[in-house]
Structures are given as structure tokens and as C-alpha cells.
Amino acid sequence: MTTDFRATKALFELPEGVTYLDGNSLGPLPKAAPARMARAMTEEWGEMLITGWNKAGWMAQPATLGDRIGRLIGAPEGTTVLGDTLSIKVHQALAAALALRPERKVILTDSGNFPSDIYMAEGLIEQLGRGHELRVVAPEEVEAAIDEDVAVMMITEVDYRTGRRHDMPKLIARAHEAGALAIWDLAHSAGAVDVDVAAADTDFAVGCTYKFLNGGPGAPAFIHVAPRLIDAVRPALSGWLGHDAPFAFEPSYRPGAAIARMRVGTPPVLAMAALDSALDIWDGVDMADLRAASLALSDRFIEGVEAACPGLELATPRDHARRGSQVSFRHPQGYAVMQALIAQGVIGDFRAPDILRFGITPLYLDEADIDRAVEVMASILRDGSWDRPEFHARAAVT
């Protein structure tokens, strides 16, 4: 192993007394981010004003940062671009894929997909009004459900609740065999597992940067399009910055060259400054090392919880090939148990109806953190302190 995870841990702000197991929902603050954002605000925005678009390279950031993310997901240079939100990127990918298969009407997804992806599909179907069908099957039934009616298979690689991981190359190969296209949501994969979109022959991939990539709340999303498809894609969201010559101010849209056509709106410069500092940490990380460390810490957590915490049921696959970088347990009062854990400085999160969810992030977690989390959870379950009234009161964000 060549990655020094003790060194990467030192690059994050981690509050005293807190064991942070929620990086699969929001990554912690990189120590370099405040200074990087301050520089963007004072030296760039403050001193350069509008000239910062050229002098500070703001306009090029979506492509520059896209390539940095591309390295982490196995994407060739020039095939990934950053900007907007994940829901917008899902909409872009799905609309583009359906347009490439106009004779087919089925969008195939699974019940483990993130709900907002499904919402975007439902909205697009209604908007198009061309008789498309959203077919939702159980995760284990996806492969068998791929037939010649399917235009697009739209799947989240790692289930946000259980951490179950699909076999991406296998499902893509089956989709292509049937003449369908594949869209992969990498929100719980990028920066978490060893993704290789090029080797898997992915058609489209999307993802966010505020989870395992640690870009900060509301950090922009990314989209990747396979080089063999990009020149055939006509964006449904034909935004100004996806135009071939934005500053020619032509009256009609012409798609930009290659991945640039998947840009939509003005880049979020300050948010990208924070992400830029987070991606600096990844420059010293080997993804194979990350995956090995994640699995070792996950195994340690599972073994510790099962030995010390009766009453919890493992929801995450034991098989390494089927596991992402999180561990989930079921408990009938999972929400209250999680609030009790948070009150004692072990931060995970809850997903309805009964999932306690823990992100395993080797960049800033080590064996001592895992052991402390197990110890605190065992204590809470043993003494029943999770059952206090304040832990049952539901907050807006769970």
C-alpha cells in the first residue's frame, strides 16, 4: 500500500471528540478549503472582479475539475465535466440516452435506486409525452429484465441505504447486448470504490461531489459521456455555456465540442474553489489502496458490532464484491438509536424505515475510530439510553 492514510487524515478538520461516519452523506471540511475559498473571494473576485473569468481561469474550471474527478472514476481526459446539481445531470443523461434510442420506450431501473433519480425519470416521461414507461424491478432482477424494449438502464451503482453494489461491467455488457444504453449514478461510488467507467464501457455516468469527494454542502455534480457517443448527443438542456461559442451570442443553439456541450449554467466559482482544495487530497491517493482500506475497516466494524450489539441486523452484503464503502444495520427504532449515537459524538445517519447507515472513509477514519463507534453503540443498546424521548423527536433532516 502506497497511500499514507495517516497523512490524509491530518488534512481534514475533525472536531474533538467526534467520530465521523457520515461521509457518505456529507464529507468533512478539508483544512485547506477556507484559505482556498478566501483566495477566490479576495484575490480573485475582490481584486480581479469580472476579469477573473479569464485571469483566474473560472471559465475553465468545470473541465479542469472534471478531469480531476475523471481520474478517480477511470474516465479518459476530456470526457467529464462539472456543474449544476446531480438531478440536472441525471436529467441530461436520461434525455440524451432516450433520444439516441427513439424507437424504444422503456427506462429500466431498480427499487434500490436513489428516489430523486426516479423522480427525474417520471418528470421527463411526462414532459416528453411519447409513451415512455418507467420499469422498476428488484435489484437482483435487473439483469433478467433487460430486453429489446429497454432504451436505457438507469442504475445507482451502490445502494444508498444498504451499501449493496451492482456488478457494473456485467450489467452494462448485458444492456449493450440487448441494444440498450446504460446510465450509472456514482453518487456513492466516486471516491468510495474502485470505479472504471472506461473499462466497463459505460455510456453515461453522473455523480455528486459533496459526499466521498468532500467538496462541501451543495458542491456541484459531474457528468461523463463515453467518447464514442458524445458527438451524437444533443443536450435537452441547451444552456448558454454548452453552446459552441457562448460569447458569439448567436440567436440559435449549436452544441459545443465534445463534453463541453453538457455544460448548462454559470459555474459556481466559490463552490468549485472548495472542491478544488478537496481534490488536492486525492492527488496522493491510490484507488486500489482506498478500496483495500475501506473493506478492512468495514469488516472490522461488522465484526465488532455483531459481537457487541445484539438486536442489530446487518443490511449490507458480506461479500466484498457486492459491498460499497458503507455499512448499514437494521433496528426497529433506528432513528432513535442514531440520535443517541450522535449525542455521544458518533455521527452516522438514518434512512427510513429502519436503517442505521455508516460511511467507511479511510481518508480520515482508522481502526481506533471504528472501535470507538462499536463501543459507544454497544453502550447505548446495553443501557437503553436510546429510548429517551428527545431521541425519538424527528428533525427535518434525518
Out of 5, 114, 329, 350, pick the active-site residue.
114
Active site residue 170: no
Q: Is the dihedral of CA 145, 146, 149, 152 positive or negative?
A: positive
Active site residue 114: yes
DSSP letters spanning 153-216: EEEESB-TTT-BB--HHHHHHHHHHTT-EEEEE-TTTTTTS---TTTTT-SEEEE-SSSTT---
Question: Alpha-carbon distance 39 to 320, whole Å?
Answer: 42
Per the omega criterion (within 30 degrees of 0), is the bond before 317 cis?
A: no
- The end-to-end CA distance of the chain, in Å, is 36
Active site residue 9: no
Question: Alpha-carbon distance 203 to 226, whole Å?
Answer: 5
Out of 210, 301, 335, 350, pick the active-site residue.
210
Question: Alpha-carbon distance 269 to 74, whole Å?
Answer: 25
DSSP lists the bridge partners of residue 110 as 137
- Collapse the DSSP code of 22 into the 3-class scheme (helix H, G, I; strand E, B; otherwise coil) and give the result: coil
CA distances from 114 to 97, 111, 222, 275, 348 (A): 19, 8, 16, 23, 18
Out of 351, 357, 358, 364, pick the active-site residue.
357
Question: Alpha-carbon distance 397 to 320, whole Å?
Answer: 30
What the block records as the C-alpha cell of 278 is: 478537496
Contact 216, 33 (CB under 8 A): yes
Out of 89, 165, 211, 323, pick the active-site residue.
211
Question: Alpha-carbon distance 214 to 293, whole Å?
Answer: 18
DSSP lists the bridge partners of residue 243 as 255
Question: Alpha-carbon distance 80 to 65, whole Å?
Answer: 9
- Collapse the DSSP code of 11 into the 3-class scheme (helix H, G, I; strand E, B; otherwise coil) and give the result: coil
Out of 84, 110, 117, 185, pick the active-site residue.
185
Active site residue 211: yes
Residue 57 CB neighbours (<10 A): 12
Task: Give how far the C-alpha of residue 341 lies from the chain's centroid of Cα atoms, to the nearest Å.
Answer: 25
Active site residue 204: no
- Report phi then psi at 346, rounded to 5: -110, 105
Residues annotated catalytic, as ranges = 114, 185, 210-211, 357
